[in-house]
Structure 1
Amino acid sequence: MYLFIINRRSGGGAGGRTWLAVEGLMQQRELAYETLFTHSAASAETLVAEALALRHDWSAAIVIGGDGTVHSVLGALHRCRVPLAVIPAGSGNDTARGFGLPLDTAEALEAALSGVCMDADLLAGAGGLTLTAVASGFDAQVAANVNASRYKRLCNAIGAGQLAYLIGIVQTLLTFKPCPVHVTCDGVEQAFPSGWLVSVCNLPSYGGGLLICPQAKADDGLLDVCVVHGCSRWQLLRLFPTVMKGRHVSLPFVTLLRGRSVAVRFAESRHAIADGESLGQGPLAVRCERGALRVLTPRAAHGAMPALDAAARQAEG
């Protein structure tokens, strides 16, 4: 039995359109399934937990939506150990990218029904569980601005979710000011006098394919951290095109860290996000929960997940 968790509003209505296609395919296959339509992140976890508790023969919980929809049900899936499958229908779809899931609906459904699973890590903190990344500073402010904008809906409508993020970068660059930040990784603290952003990643990308930590692997028991600091506005603007291919990692104002626990404390109040969803403002503390979530992905058939290499980045870019 499969449980479909559907957010019709994801991706500016792409969730609803995707479900219509999936529903037809499931009926052709004559497979047993149930549906659960979610309308808010606040209620999704409770609804999913209640639905999963009614049976013990779930083959998978298949999310049709974006990264935010996936984020909202992580707690329920973690507790029940029901495998997560994703049919991407959001504006960013970085969960799908990170696990090598097809963006094509029919192919993504095939992967969801394959039964091929891996144990993936999760990020755990005061805000709950996160799958892709927890970030604070400039990029979190970008996300806040994009989510509050009118252009996000327009970009989603034309299938250009990444464009909304790029517009948000330019918008935020006009007003954002860096400040000192302290980053503690596995108990070792580093101070950066002029910090722009700190991203703690479990998967390589967020923001619709920006490879902020291209070396990140979801099954290595480690968190990958990217700190951008000590650069001018012009340098920061020039950085973002290089993030598309993960080439920013060699720049002198980019510091990469890796560990099992990370704490971030900006000297001034800064927005924070988890899987693109707001965590409010304040310091962050997250730890890696190794193998906490089962995920259906074709990459599981090949053993441990590889880091995203240059060829893969070009293919996905």
Structure 2
Amino acid sequence: MYLFIINPRSGGGAGHRTWLSVEKLLKERKVSYESLFTHSADEAEQLVAERLSHQENWTAAVVIGGDGTIHSVLGALRHSRVPLAVIPAGSGNDTARGFGIPLTLEAALEVALSDCYLESDLLSGADGLTLTAVASGFDAQVSENVNTSWYKRLCNAIGAGQLAFIIGILHTLITFKPCRVSVACDGTEHVYETAWLVSICNLPNYGGGFLICPQAKADDGHLDVCVVHGCSRWQLLRLFPTVLKGRHVTLPFVSMLRGRSVAVTFAQARHAIGDGESLGTEPLAVRCESGALRVLSPQAVSSVLAAAGTAASCQASG
């Protein structure tokens, strides 16, 4: 039995439209399922937890929505051993990208109905759980600006979610000012006097496909950190095209760190986001919860074929 969790308002209504198409395919294939519609983060976690507790034979929990919808159900799925599947219907869809899940409906549904999963890590902090990345500073302010903007709705309507983030970058660049930050990885402190952003990543990308930490892997038990510091506004603007391919990691004003726990303290209040959702402006302290969530992903097939340990599993269907 599959549990489909639908946010009908995600992606400017794409969640509703996607579900109508998915439901038709499920009926054609005679797949057993239940559907659950959510409209807020608090409601989603509670409803999913209740539904999962009613029976034990769930094959997977399939989210139809964006990164925020996925974020809202992490607490309910954590350690449940019920795999998470994703049919992307948001504006950024970075979780799907990070796990190699296709962005097309039919192909994503095939992955959701498969049985190969990764034992993914989670980022755990005072504000809850995050799957993709916890970001603070400039890029978090970009997200705050985008989420409250008129242009996000317009970009979603025309199917150009990444364009909204590009506009948001230009919007934020005008007013944002860098400041001193302390970043402690596994207890070792690194101080940067003029820092623009600090990103703590479990997956390589966020912000609509930007490869902030291209080396990050969801199942390696570590967090990857990107710090951008000591550069001018013009240099920062020129950096973003290189982030699309992950080429920024060699620049002199970009520092890459790794660790199992990361604490970030800016000298001035800075916004932070997790999976694109606001985490407020308090200092950050997050740790890696290794293997806390099963995620159905095409990447699991490669992991199994490469015999790369026990981080992935494929179960025989039927």
Fold match by TM threshold 0.5:
yes
- Determine whether 1:286 maps to 2:289: no
Residue of structure 2 in register with 1:60 after alignment: 60
Letter of the 1:274 counterpart: G
Residue of structure 2 in register with 1:313 after alignment: none
Q: CA deviation at 1:304?
A: 6.8
Counterpart-to-counterpart distance in 1, 2:214 and 2:122: 17
Q: Is the CA contact 2:79–2:293 (under 8 Å) kept in the aligned structure 1?
A: no
- Determine whether 1:257 maps to 2:257: yes
Counterpart-to-counterpart distance in 1, 2:70 and 2:12: 16
Counterpart-to-counterpart distance in 1, 2:156 and 2:34: 28
Q: Is the CA contact 1:219–1:304 (under 8 Å) kept in the aligned structure 2?
A: no
Residue of structure 1 in register with 2:121 after alignment: 121
Counterpart-to-counterpart distance in 1, 2:80 and 2:211: 31
Letter of the 1:166 counterpart: I
Per-residue Cα deviation, 1:252-294 (whole angstroms, up to 9, x for no partner): 0000000100000000000000000000111000000000000
Residue of structure 2 in register with 1:169 after alignment: 169
Counterpart-to-counterpart distance in 2, 1:31 and 1:206: 32
Counterpart-to-counterpart distance in 2, 1:305 and 1:165: 36
Letter of the 2:97 counterpart: R
Counterpart-to-counterpart distance in 1, 2:231 and 2:117: 42
Residue of structure 2 in register with 1:311 after alignment: none
Counterpart-to-counterpart distance in 1, 2:42 and 2:120: 24
- Determine whether 1:19 maps to 2:19: yes
- Mark the CA change 1:243 to 1:171 in structure 2 (over 3 Å): closer, same or farther: same
Counterpart-to-counterpart distance in 2, 1:66 and 1:305: 30
Q: TM-score, normalised by structure 2?
A: 0.95
Residue of structure 1 in register with 2:311 after alignment: none
Counterpart-to-counterpart distance in 2, 1:305 and 1:158: 39
Per-residue Cα deviation, 1:224-271 (whole angstroms, up to 9, x for no partner): 000000000000001001101111111000000001000000000000
- Determine whether 1:157 maps to 2:145: no
Counterpart-to-counterpart distance in 1, 2:162 and 2:200: 20
Counterpart-to-counterpart distance in 1, 2:82 and 2:305: 20
- Determine whether 1:5 maps to 2:5: yes
**Range that drifts further, 271-280 or 114-123:** 114-123
Q: TM-score, normalised by structure 1?
A: 0.95
Paired-residue identity, %: 73
Residue of structure 1 in register with 2:136 after alignment: 136
Per-residue Cα deviation, 1:116-173 (whole angstroms, up to 9, x for no partner): 1110000000011100000100000000000000100000011100000000000000
- Determine whether 1:242 maps to 2:239: no
Gaps of 5+ in 2: 307-318
Aligned 1:1-317 pairs, distance under 5 A = 1-303=1-303
Letter of the 1:286 counterpart: V
**Range that drifts further, 79-88 or 17-26:** 79-88
Counterpart-to-counterpart distance in 1, 2:230 and 2:117: 42
Counterpart-to-counterpart distance in 2, 1:305 and 1:278: 38
Q: Is the CA contact 1:217–1:305 (under 8 Å) kept in the aligned structure 2?
A: no
Letter of the 1:234 counterpart: W
Q: CA deviation at 1:305?
A: 11
Counterpart-to-counterpart distance in 1, 2:203 and 2:9: 24
Q: CA deviation at 1:79?
A: 3.8
Counterpart-to-counterpart distance in 2, 1:47 and 1:211: 33
- Mark the CA change 1:86 to 1:92 in structure 2 (over 3 Å): closer, same or farther: same
RMSD: 1.1
Counterpart-to-counterpart distance in 2, 1:235 and 1:77: 41
Gaps of 5+ in 1: 307-317
Q: Is the CA contact 1:223–1:259 (under 8 Å) kept in the aligned structure 2?
A: yes
Q: CA deviation at 1:81?
A: 1.9
Q: Secondary structure at the match of 1:30?
A: coil
Per-residue Cα deviation, 1:34-93 (whole angstroms, up to 9, x for no partner): 000000112110110001101100000000000000000001001422100000000000
